C-alpha cells in the first residue's frame, strides 16, 4: 500500500487558493457536517478548544471519508505533541506562537525523521495504516512539505507589526506584514507584498497597494501613497476592540512603517 497523496499541500504548492473552515466544537457530529460541505480543508483546534488526542482521532476518522483535508492546530510547539498527532495521521499542522527563527526550526525538526529532524519512529500507527503503508517514511515529508521557490524570497526583506490593546488584553487589533525586494541599485521597488490580519475583517492581501508601489522609485512620497492605497482593499469593522476608523488609521500607518523598515533591511535609503 502506498501513502495517500496530500491534496492540500499539492494545491498550495501549485498556487491554488484553498478555502477552509475552523472547528472548535470537539464534536464528531460537527466534524461530519463540515466534512461533506465542500471545503478544501478543515482545522481542528487544540490550542483554544478542549480537544484531546482521542477527540482529534474521532474527527480525523470522520474526515477520512471525505475530500476535505483535516489539519490540526497543535496546543503548543512541543515535540512530543507533534509526534503523537503525526502518528494519528494528521496531514498538516498549524503551530501557535512562533516568534523566532529558533522556534520555527524547532517546529520543523519535530515533523521530520532523523537525520533531518527528531521525530520518533513507530511502525504501527494510524499514519502508516498500522504498518501497511510501505513508503511512509520515504514519502511523508514530500507529501506534507510546502515548497517555497527561492525566487519568491530571494533578495526579499520584510517587517511585521502587531498592534494590540495591551492595557486590557493582548488581543491583536491588527497585524501587518510587508516584504520588499529592491532593484540592484536599491532605488526602485522591484516587488512589494503586504498582508493584513483582522483587517478585511479576515486576513487578506492588499493588491491595489502592491500594484501601486511596484516599479516606483523608493521615496517617502511613494510610501505615503502606498499606505493610503491599502484602504482600497481592506474593510475593517467596528468591534469592542477597536472602531473601524481606528483600524483603518492603524492599517495605513503600519503599512508605511513596515515598508520603511523593509527598505532599510534591504539596504535602501529614505
Together in a domain, 30 and 47: yes
By residue range, what is the domain housing residue 54? 7-144
Together in a domain, 97 and 189: no
Among residues 144, 164, 196, the one where a domain terminates is 144
Q: Could you tell me if residue 2 is inside a domain?
A: no
Q: Could you tell me if residue 22 is inside a domain?
A: yes
Q: Where are the beta strands (DSSP E) in the chain?
A: 20-23, 41-45, 69-73, 93-94, 156-164, 172-182, 189-197, 204-205
CATH classification of the domain holding 67: 3.20.20.60
Together in a domain, 258 and 171: yes
pLDDT band at 168 (very low <50, low <70, confident <90, very high): low
Residue percentage of the chain with pLDDT more than 70: 93
- The DSSP-derived string for 149-188 is -GGGTTTEEEEEEEEE-TTT---EEEEEEEEEEE-TTS-B
Q: How far is CA 197 from the centre of its chain?
A: 11
Find the distance separating the first CA and the last CA of the chain, reported in whole Å: 59
Residue pLDDT, tens place only, 120-150: 999 899 999 999 999 999 889 888 777 677 7
Taking each helix axis from N to C end, the angle separating 28-35 and 53-63, rounded to the nearest 10 degrees, works out to 30
Query: What pLDDT, on the 0 to 100 scale, is given for residue 171?
Result: 55
Tally of domains in the chain? 2
* Cβ–Cβ < 8 Å for 119, 83: yes
Together in a domain, 64 and 134: yes
Question: Is residue 210 classed exposed, middle or buried when 0-12, 13-18 and 19+ CB atoms within 10 A define those classes?
Answer: buried
Q: Could you tell me if residue 232 is inside a domain?
A: yes
Q: Could you tell me if residue 28 is inside a domain?
A: yes
Spatial distance between the Cα atoms of 190 and 64, rounded to a whole number of angstroms: 44
pLDDT band at 219 (very low <50, low <70, confident <90, very high): very high
Question: DSSP secondary-structure letter at 1?
Answer: -
Together in a domain, 174 and 261: yes
Together in a domain, 53 and 138: yes
User: Does 98 score more than 90 pLDDT?
Assistant: no
Instruction: Check: pTM over 0.75? Answer yes or no.
Output: no
Among residues 144, 172, 191, the one where a domain terminates is 144
Together in a domain, 215 and 234: yes
Spatial distance between the Cα atoms of 79 and 81, rounded to a whole number of angstroms: 6
Closest by CA to 123, choosing from 112, 134, 109, is 134
User: Does 167 score more than 60 pLDDT?
Assistant: no
Q: Could you tell me if residue 21 is inside a domain?
A: yes
Catalytic residues: 48
* Cβ–Cβ < 8 Å for 231, 207: no
Together in a domain, 11 and 134: yes
Among residues 87, 115, 144, the one where a domain terminates is 144
* Cβ–Cβ < 8 Å for 89, 127: yes
The mean pLDDT value for 142-162 works out to 81
pLDDT band at 45 (very low <50, low <70, confident <90, very high): very high
CATH classification of the domain holding 243: 3.30.390.50
Together in a domain, 136 and 159: no
Quote the Cα angle for 15-21-27, to 5°. Answer: 145
Together in a domain, 117 and 164: no
Query: What pLDDT, on the 0 to 100 scale, is given for residue 201?
Result: 61
Together in a domain, 179 and 101: no
Q: Could you tell me if residue 46 is inside a domain?
A: yes
Together in a domain, 118 and 53: yes
Amino acid at each position: 500500500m502506498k501513502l495517500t497523496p496530500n491534496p492540500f499541500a499539492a494545491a498550495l504548492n501549485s498556487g491554488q487558493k484553498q478555502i477552509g473552515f475552523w472547528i472548535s466544537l470537539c464534536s464528531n457530529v460537527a466534524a461530519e457536517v463540515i466534512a461533506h460541505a465542500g471545503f478544501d480543508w478543515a482545522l481542528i483546534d487544540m490550542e483554544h478548544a478542549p480537544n484531546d488526542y482521542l477527540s482529534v482521532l474521532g474527527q480525523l476518522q470522520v474526515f477520512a471519508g471525505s475530500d476535505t483535508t483535516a489539519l490540526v492546530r497543535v496546543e503548543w510547539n512541543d515535540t512530543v505533541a507533534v509526534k503523537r498527532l503525526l502518528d494519528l495521521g494528521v496531514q498538516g499542522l498549524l503551530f501557535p506562537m512562533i516568534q523566532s527563527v529558533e522556534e520555527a526550526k524547532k517546529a520543523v525538526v519535530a515533523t521530520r525523521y532523523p537525520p533531518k529532524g527528531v521525530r520518533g519512529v513507530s511502525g504501527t500507527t494510524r499514519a502508516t495504516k498500522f504498518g501497511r503503508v510501505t513508503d511512509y517514511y520515504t514519502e511523508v515529508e514530500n507529501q506534507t512539505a510546502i515548497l517555497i521557490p527561492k525566487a519568491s524570497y530571494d533578495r526579499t526583506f520584510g517587517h511585521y507589526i502587531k498592534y494590540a490593546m495591551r492595557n486590557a488584553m493582548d488581543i491583536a487589533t491588527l497585524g501587518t506584514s510587508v516584504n520588499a525586494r529592491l532593484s540592484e541599485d536599491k532605488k526602485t521597488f522591484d516587488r512589494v507584498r503586504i498582508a493584513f490580519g483582522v483587517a478585511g475583517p479576515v486576513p487578506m492581501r492588499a493588491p491595489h497597494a502592491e500594484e501601486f508601489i511596484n516599479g516606483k522609485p523608493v521615496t517617502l512620497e511613494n510610501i505615503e501613497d502606498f499606505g493610503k492605497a491599502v484602504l482600497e482593499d481592506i474593510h475593517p469593522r467596528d468591534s469592542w476592540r477597536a472602531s473601524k476608523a481606528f483600524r483603518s488609521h492603524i492599517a495605513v500607518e503600519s503599512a508605511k512603517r513596515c515598508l520603511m523598515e523593509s527598505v532599510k533591511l534591504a539596504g535602501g535609503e529614505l
